[in-house]
């Protein structure tokens, strides 16, 4: 029972890490928009428009939500894999940050 509870918390923490990293990347994407001279949120609007939303504001919100949802899902999947393959489990900051960066870059 305790192992199952620990596994659920581990997956929850990995999902939270995916959420935080998606927010961090979102901020960087907005900075890229500002530097390139496009309106802030263009990246997210393109995601929303590509799936059929024609209003740019709605498309931005949908694109942002999908981006964050993708980050949460990626963290969750990484957590599930790490439970079964202990060598990649990020149990402390020394190993967690580099492994999280590797997973993020691989997904990108």
- Give the pLDDT confidence of 22-32 residue by residue, as tens digits: 999 999 999 99
- Mean pLDDT calculated for residue range 40-55: 94
Range name among 34-43, 61-70, 86-95 with the lowest pLDDT average: 86-95
From CA 101, how far away is CA 97, in angstroms rounded?
6
Q: Which residues contact 12 (CB under 8 A, 6 or more apart)?
A: 79
Residue 2 is predicted with a pLDDT of 60
Specify the pTM. Answer: 0.82
- Name the E strands within the chain: none
Is the model's pLDDT at 82 over the cut of 70? Answer: yes
Residue 85 is predicted with a pLDDT of 82
- Choose between 62 and 87: higher pLDDT: 62
Nearest to 17 by CA among 64, 70, 65, 72: 72
């Amino acid at each position: 029972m305790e192992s199952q509870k620990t596994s659920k918390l581990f997956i929850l923490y990995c999902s939270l890490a995916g959420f935080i990293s998606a927010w961090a990347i979102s901020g960087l994407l907005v900075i890229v928009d500002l530097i390139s001279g496009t309106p802030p949120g263009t990246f997210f609007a393109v995601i929303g428009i590509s799936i059929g939303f024609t209003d740019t504001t709605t498309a931005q919100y949908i694109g942002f939500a999908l981006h964050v949802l993708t980050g949460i899902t990626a963290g969750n999947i990484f957590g599930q894999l790490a439970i079964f393959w202990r060598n990649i489990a990020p149990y402390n900051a020394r190993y967690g940050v580099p492994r999280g960066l590797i997973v993020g870059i691989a997904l990108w």
